[in-house]
């Protein structure tokens, strides 16, 4: 890897793991529980593919100061117990459309805001999607492409429409594709929506979010809009991800995914 990241070695993404408590402290002993994705309890992180053996932290990673550093940075955490429980309670993780917690990662990552200053946001992604998304977001940060907000969908009770109306960029959500009973790529943690208000989805003449009608005209140049061939599309294409703005049956200008769906 060549992009700049918070790293423990040249080109390596920082994975904060192996502790049962806040990674910023070392006051508690680790605890291991048995993974059980069919129950309402929080499964443990077993040994994920390509990462060291870890256990699930019982508390959140330490909160950051509101002023983020100027350099692009990303940190990756297992889904700690409190976060997993919050995901279950909100419905973002469920027994219908969700991968095991052991396959998911909480990613804290820099982004450039609409206020033209750096911020730190949070995404939940599949472990196998982290490198690609962080690389693409690093390119957007370098280009100062503005992102309005980046929090996980639990803040909206896993309601995708409410998250989009708030112009929140997000990734994992254990939900169906709109209007179907097929699991969305978001349910696998292998898709991300960026600035969904400025970049709505239009399907069968309906706009998502419903408040985004002003942005259906793609000939305009508004802050945060994504256009064919721009820095956002190029950044995700560079890591092998496809853009929903290229679809023919519908348009999903906010959407990027690993498999093109």
How much is the pLDDT for 12?
32
- Per-residue burial over 197-206, b = 16 or more CB atoms within 10 Å of its CB, e = otherwise: bbbbbbbeee
pLDDT at position 48 over 90: no
Domain with 182, as residue range(s), is 14-191
pTM of structure: 0.77
Whether 238 is in a domain gets the answer: no
How much is the pLDDT for 178?
80
Span 24-30, average pLDDT? 31
Whether 201 is in a domain gets the answer: no
pLDDT > 90 fraction of the chain, expressed in percent and rounded: 68
Whether 247 is in a domain gets the answer: no
Residues 129 and 74: beta-carbon distance below 8 Å: no
- Angle, vertex CA 102, rays to CA 167 and CA 71, nearest 5: 50
Greater pLDDT, 163 or 40:
163
- What is the pLDDT of the chain when averaged over all its residues? 80
What are the pLDDT digits (tens) for 151-205?
999 999 999 999 999 999 999 999 988 877 889 999 999 999 999 999 999 999 9
How much is the pLDDT for 26?
31
Whether 254 is in a domain gets the answer: no
Q: Could you give the number of structural domains in the chain?
A: 1
What are the pLDDT digits (tens) for 53-78?
233 344 455 554 444 458 999 999 99
Residues 88 and 40: beta-carbon distance below 8 Å: yes
Whether 171 is in a domain gets the answer: yes
Whether 167 is in a domain gets the answer: yes
Whether 36 is in a domain gets the answer: yes
Greater pLDDT, 23 or 8:
23
Give 98's pLDDT tier (boundaries 50, 70, 90): confident
Whether 6 is in a domain gets the answer: no
* Strand 201-203, strand 251-252: pairing: antiparallel
């Amino acid at each position: 890897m060549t992009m700049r990241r918070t790293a423990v070695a040249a080109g390596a993404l920082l994975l904060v793991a192996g502790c049962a408590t806040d990674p910023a402290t070392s006051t508690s002993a680790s605890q291991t529980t048995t993974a059980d994705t069919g129950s309402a309890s929080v499964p443990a992180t077993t040994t994920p593919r390509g990462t060291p053996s870890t256990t699930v932290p019982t508390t959140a990673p330490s909160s950051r100061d509101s002023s983020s550093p100027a350099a692009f940075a990303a940190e990756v955490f297992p889904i700690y117990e409190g976060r997993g429980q919050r995901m279950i309670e909100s419905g973002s993780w469920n027994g219908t459309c969700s991968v095991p917690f052991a396959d998911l990662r909480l990613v804290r990552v820099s982004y450039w805001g609409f206020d033209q200053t750096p911020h730190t946001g949070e995404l939940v992604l599949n472990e196998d999607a982290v490198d690609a998304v962080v690389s693409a977001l690093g390119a957007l940060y370098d280009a100062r492409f503005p992102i309005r907000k980046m929090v996980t969908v639990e803040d909206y009770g896993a309601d995708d429409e409410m998250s989009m109306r708030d112009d929140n960029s997000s990734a994992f959500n254990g939900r169906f594709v709109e209007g179907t009973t097929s699991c969305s790529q978001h349910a696998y943690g292998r898709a991300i929506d960026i600035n969904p208000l400025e970049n709505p989805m239009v399907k069968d003449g309906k706009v998502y979010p419903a408040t985004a009608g002003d942005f259906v005209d793609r000939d305009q140049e508004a802050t945060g809009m994504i256009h064919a061939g721009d820095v956002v599309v190029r950044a995700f294409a560079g890591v092998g991800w496809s853009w929903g703005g290229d679809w023919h049956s519908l348009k999903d200008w906010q959407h990027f995914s690993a498999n093109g769906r």
